[in-house]
Amino acid sequence: MASDLEIARAATLKPIGEIATRAGIPDAVLVPFGRTKAKIEHAFVVEAIATRPAGRLVLVTGISPTAAGEGKTTTTIGLGDALNALGTRTMICLREPSLGPCFGVKGGATGGGHAQVAPMEDINLHFTGDFHAITSANNLLSAMVDNHLYWGNELALDPRRVTWRRAMDMNDRNLRNLVLGLGGPAQGVPREDGFDITVASEVMAVFCLAADLADLQARLGRMIVGATRDGRSATARDVKADGAMAALLRDALQPNLVQTLEGSPALVHGGPFANIAHGCNSVIATRLGLALADVVVTEAGFGADLGAEKFLDIKCRSAGLAPSASVIVATVRALKMHGGVAKAELGREDVAAVERGTVNLARHVENMHKFGLPVVVALNRFTTDTDAEIAAVQAAMARLDTEAVLCTHWADGADGALDLARAVQRRLDQGAARFVPLYPDAMPLAEKLRTVAREIYRAADVSIPAPVAARLTRFEEQGFGHVPVCVAKTQYSFSADPTRLGAPEGHVLPVREVRLSAGAGFVVAVCGEIMTMPGLPRRPAAEAIGLDAEGRIEGLF
């Protein structure tokens, strides 16, 4: 069986100008990066968003992820290809891959099989340099904060209360906590610091939520870097870093245009994780897609309890978006794991395990209904799936008045997702969506956390230690009580314990710390043992990546 990389290499890609023409983008506004990828100039993006009617938005999300894999990005691409094949003008909007997972355990994020965006190697490794620009902007601010401390500290920043952290787009646990400035006065002011992975940085969130260049610089300026000795917040604007940061990000903020293996246009732009950030592609790319197409198919990271909840409560609230339908991706294999089957045993028929595992899928469906969204389940088929196992999933979904559609787009491309596309089109034509966020802006921050925990995770309550509660109160006193909350927790469970699969309930969500992302416009609640700088696994994927005799990259997946 050919690998994803082999399938991608065998495809004949069209010149990016042809893809742009198909999407209604003039060649004159393209900034090409080689033959098969390009950025789109700001002026066209602004004009298109302002003057054209918006299409309808379809959100693809998934069940709680397992080691068996589910195929959310693959389904997003397959669905977009299939809708285009049926004659619905469709744009696909995806997140950019992070180098951390590429060299770690998860692999790339360009889909798989015959449902991929391309050029696969370029997109997974550097692409158009957006993440490098975001990393550089983040670390320029760090350098300017430390430089301010060194040259007299006019703002009276308290070195013990600097909260801004450095970033890099790589998994490196040794950089989580550091002491800087050792070696004498000439080396800087000693203080504690640390690194987050770039996709978890506030600069990434600002980049993804900014409406345009002016909004980008305004949001950058509002980012809080620490506190002064008398307790006042200090911002990036206070240390005069916002302009230079915006300059570094100017070109990166232009959306990236690529194509699927079947020639559908795709905007791949921005890329935070949904377990430790808000997990969505850029607002600019989504809005541009809606201006150019009748339907936009986009995805949110990890399970619906994380990516979809944040997409709906953070991104849609911030950008004024209202999705028309949602797709939840599942596999029989993954549901068996939620039903207690070990990965090595997934090839055996076990209808009872599938039935036990469908409680995870059912909860995600119920949660999407709470937001007023109609749901279609995409059931990615594996050769080991039996008719009885598939019937068990479809029966469980029928009890929720939800259609579970078999898909084979990994093997068959658009042809394997035509039934899914028809089901989604029916939902769109019915116009049943009545989108509403989970909680109102005016709700106190602690109650917003409690609402997410109870309504989405089915927790009994949240545990907020006194110092953390005091910080939430302080955020409200500073005028940030109206912002949404962004929960950082394990992606593998509705609880904060990654070993509790299925659909646990009655647990307590432990809030370890809270961080104010004033520029992005939300409060991050770090729960359980989750880390904002991941580590590499015992055998990282990087060990298998290299160059062949012809200088071609091998080992990417």
| Strand-pair partners of 260 | 117
C-alpha span between 266 and 257 (Å, rounded): 6
Q: Return the sign of the alpha-carbon dihedral for residues 288, 30, 265, 491.
A: negative
What average pLDDT does this structure show over 102-107? 84
**What pLDDT score was predicted for residue 274?**
83
Specify whether 195 is catalytic: no
Considering 127, 195, 273, 382, which one is annotated as catalytic? 382
Burial class (CB in 10 A: 0-12, 13-18, 19+), 87: exposed
C-alpha span between 532 and 529 (Å, rounded): 10
Specify whether 235 is catalytic: no
Specify whether 127 is catalytic: no
Helical segments of 69-115, H only: 72-85, 99-103
Considering 195, 273, 302, 494, which one is annotated as catalytic? 302
Specify whether 14 is catalytic: no
Considering 37, 39, 56, 72, which one is annotated as catalytic? 72
Considering 37, 39, 106, 191, which one is annotated as catalytic? 106
HSE at residue 249, side-chain half, CA atoms within 13 A, is 34
CATH topology of domain 445-527: Formyltetrahydrofolate synthetase; domain 3 (3.10.410)
Considering 95, 219, 471, 489, which one is annotated as catalytic? 95
Q: Regarding predicted confidence, which is higher, 518 or 2?
A: 518
Digit-coded pLDDT (tens) for 304-346: 999 999 999 999 999 999 999 999 999 999 999 999 999 999 9
CATH code assigned to 131-249: 3.30.1510.10
Specify whether 274 is catalytic: yes
* pLDDT band for position 384 (cuts 50, 70, 90): very high
For the chain, the structural domain boundaries read 4-129+252-430, 131-249, 445-527
What average pLDDT does this structure show over 491-515? 97
| Amino acid sitting at position 171 | N
What average pLDDT does this structure show over 151-161? 96
Considering 36, 61, 66, 74, which one is annotated as catalytic? 74
Specify whether 207 is catalytic: no
* pLDDT band for position 143 (cuts 50, 70, 90): very high
**What pLDDT score was predicted for residue 432?**
87
Residue of 98, 512, 82, 74 lying closest to 274 (CA atoms): 98
* pLDDT band for position 109 (cuts 50, 70, 90): confident
* SS3 assignment, position 426: helix
- Two domains, one topology: 131-249 and 445-527: no
Radius of gyration of the chain (CA): 23
Only one residue has tokens 């541009």, namely: 288
Specify whether 382 is catalytic: yes
Question: What mean pLDDT is reported for the chain?
Answer: 96
Give the torsion through C-alpha atoms of 356, 358, 364, 366, to 10 deg.
-90
Lowest mean pLDDT among 172-181, 220-229, 270-279, 448-457: 270-279
| pLDDT at residue 294 greater than cutoff 80 | yes
C-alpha span between 268 and 284 (Å, rounded): 11
Q: H/E/C letters for each residue in 22-76?
A: HHCCCHHHEEECCCCCEEECHHHHHHHHHHCCCCEEEEEEECCCCCCCCCHHHHH
Lowest mean pLDDT among 106-110, 180-184, 210-214, 249-253: 106-110
- Collect all residues with Cβ–Cβ distance below 8 Å to 534 and sequence separation of at least 6: 100, 104, 171, 173, 197
Residue of 107, 105, 37 lying closest to 73 (CA atoms): 107
CATH topology of domain 4-129+252-430: Rossmann fold (3.40.50)
**What pLDDT score was predicted for residue 154?**
97
Digit-coded pLDDT (tens) for 73-89: 999 999 999 999 999 99
* pLDDT band for position 1 (cuts 50, 70, 90): confident
Helical segments of 321-455, H only: 332-338, 351-370, 387-398, 409-412, 418-430, 445-455
Residues 81 and 409 sit within 8 Å (Cβ to Cβ):
yes
Specify whether 343 is catalytic: no
Global pTM value:
0.96
* pLDDT band for position 106 (cuts 50, 70, 90): confident
| pLDDT at residue 556 greater than cutoff 90 | no
**What pLDDT score was predicted for residue 369?**
97
Considering 133, 200, 274, 300, which one is annotated as catalytic? 274
